[in-house]
Amino acid sequence: MKVKGFGINRSEIFTRQGYSESVHFPQILGIECVGIVTDSTEPARIPEGTKIVSIMGEMGRAFDGSYAEYVLLPNEQIYKVETNLDWPTMAAVPETYHTAFGTLKNLKIEDSDAVLVRGAASGVGVAFAKLLKGKYPEARLYGSTRNTRKADRLKAAGFDDVVVEKEGRLDTALSFDKIADLVGPSAMADSLTHLKDGGILCNTGLLGGTWTSTISTSSPNWGAAKYITASTPDSSMKALCRPCFDLIARIPYRCRAGENLLLTGRFARPRLIWTVPTASVRWWLSMTDIYQQTKAYSRIRDHQLSIFENYARKRGLQSKSMLILMWIYYNPEGIPQNEIAQKTYSTKQVVNATIKSFKEKGYLRFEENPGDKRIKRIKLTEEGRAYAASVLDLLEEAEMLAMSELTPDERNLLLRVSRKFNDALARTIGDYHD
């Protein structure tokens, strides 16, 4: 097929960062797309020129995916559609709208229902609102959000009212006939307390970052006859694809081109989270661990940076100027200004301003570079070296004392792992000067 458009799925971002062990590079990524059949092995069923959708399977993982101009797909992974949607709008449909449509079907909506969407500001939440209002215009639709500033946007998307979430709980006494829970297990217990007897909760998303639930269905707080289901697009794509597009075609306020292209992969593949995890669920579990560990390490790093910043400020410096001073101090033979900028990931303007300040205080001097007279080497004056020593020698001593509290094995591990992480971060985030 010739690819006409695709959404960016969250799983692809993780794969690009090297977290998908089953994906072996070189590999063209992309796990969803829309396009036109250009060559077919089943011309009677899928003739050339047919508009199609393809999603998940092993596209972009076991074989080259939708980031390419053309993609070769298994016939069973090709879903024909008849639609007048333009390609950018159509590209927003496969994951986002299909998941929303599956959720809509599982909730068995009626016009008299009061319906709540938890995580309403997500791509699936907005898609769900448009589909529901297109098919059940009389239903009362509520959307939850932690950010009250999103209330007007949600109402513009089709929500009748907005419910605020505070610390994982709905800040309302209202109860609902149906709940589309895109937050997942972390919110499910609270969602059930707001579900009417005989109501249905469809767990679709995992925006809350929690992958399993410890809820007890015998809790007396939940009343009686409440039903939990889930949207499973993996198994129902073919059955739901056509009616999903048919419904979109009937909606009077169709989504604008590209409106929901973002956030197509804001949640993991929906699964019944209390079943034995499949390989894909285990993969997403690992992503959760990585997320939590990344945040924990970020806090450690920020604390360390704050310690250095506090030390610098007590000596009339900023951490960046202290870093620049450090590179000059530990290069007594002199160092070019452009090299300081590269080593400290600083702009030329920042380095210029810092060097100018030190020079005005008599701490620096410039010398010609014997190898290239166009480049000046920056050296400390005797006064500058004494000043730098008063700042940096004490810092070095403090670092050595801190390091001495670790065992030799811990020190070696710290160095090895830190270097590995920095190398990986440089590869994924890109060098400052690229």
pLDDT: which is higher, 295 or 68: 68
Mean pLDDT of the chain: 79
Q: With 60 as the cut, is the pLDDT of residue 289 above it? A: no
Question: Sheet holding 32-36: strands in order across?
Answer: 2-5, 32-36, 51-55, 79-80
CATH number for 93-250 (one of 3.40.50.720, 3.90.1150.10, 1.10.1200.10, 3.30.470.10): it is 3.40.50.720
Find where tokens 């006064």 sit: 383
Q: pLDDT band for position 432 (50/70/90)? A: very low
pLDDT, tens digit, for every residue of 351-378? 999 999 999 999 999 988 777 777 889 9
The CATH class of 315-429 is mainly alpha
Instruction: Work out the average pLDDT over 252-281.
Output: 33
The full 3-state SS of the chain, as one line of letters, equals CEEEECCCCHHHHHHHCCCCCCCCCCCCCCCEEEEECCCCCCCCCCCCCCEEEEECCCECCCECCCCCCECCCCHHHCEECCCCCCHHHHHCHHHHHHHHHHHHHHHCCCCCCEEEEECCCCHHHHHHHHHHHHHCCCCEEEEEECCHHHHHHHHHHCCCEEEEEECCEECCCCCEEEEEECCCHHHHHHHHHCEEEEEEEEECCCCCCCCCCCCCCCCHHHCCCCEEEECCHHHHHHHHHHHHHHHHHHCCCCCCCCCCCCCCCCCCCCCCCCCCCCHHHHHHHHHHHHHHHHHHHHHHHHHHHHHHHHHHHCCCCCHHHHHHHHHHHCCCCCEEHHHHHHHHCCCHHHHHHHHHHHHHCCCEEEEEECCEEEEEEEEECHHHHHHHHHHHHHHHHHHHHHHHCCCHHHHHHHHHHHHHHHHHHHHHHCCCCC
Sole residue written with tokens 């709208």 = 97
Angle at 184 between CA 231 and CA 146, to 5 degrees: 125
Mean pLDDT for 193-206 is 85
Structural tokens at position 242: 């056509």
The rounded distance, in Å, linking the Cα atoms of 82 and 51 is: 7
pLDDT tens digits for range 116-140: 999 898 888 988 998 898 888 899 9
Q: Note the pLDDT of residue 385.
A: 93
Both tokens of residue 241? 């694809």
Model confidence at 16: pLDDT above 90: no
How far apart, in Å, are the Cα atoms of 164 and each of 60, 120, 160, 182, 222? 38, 11, 14, 15, 21
Max avg pLDDT among 246-250, 289-293, 397-401: 397-401
List all residues 6 or more positions away from 281 whose beta carbon is below 8 Å from its beta carbon. Answer: 211, 268, 269, 271, 273
Supply the pLDDT for residue 415: 94
Q: Which amino acid is at 286?
A: S
> Domains of the chain: which residue ranges?
2-80, 93-250, 315-429
Residues 47-103 have pLDDT tens digits of 999 998 888 778 888 888 888 899 998 888 888 887 777 888 788 777 778 788 888
In the structure encoding, which two tokens stand for residue 142, read together? 């509520």
Q: How far apart are the first and last CA of the chain?
A: 35
How far is 311 from 318, CA to CA, in rounded Å? 9
Residue 337's nearest CA partner among 362, 372, 382, 383 is 372
Q: Burial of 136 by CB count in 10 Å (0-12 exposed, 13-18 middle, 19+ buried)?
A: middle
CATH of segment(s) 2-80 = 3.90.180.10
pTM higher than 0.75: no
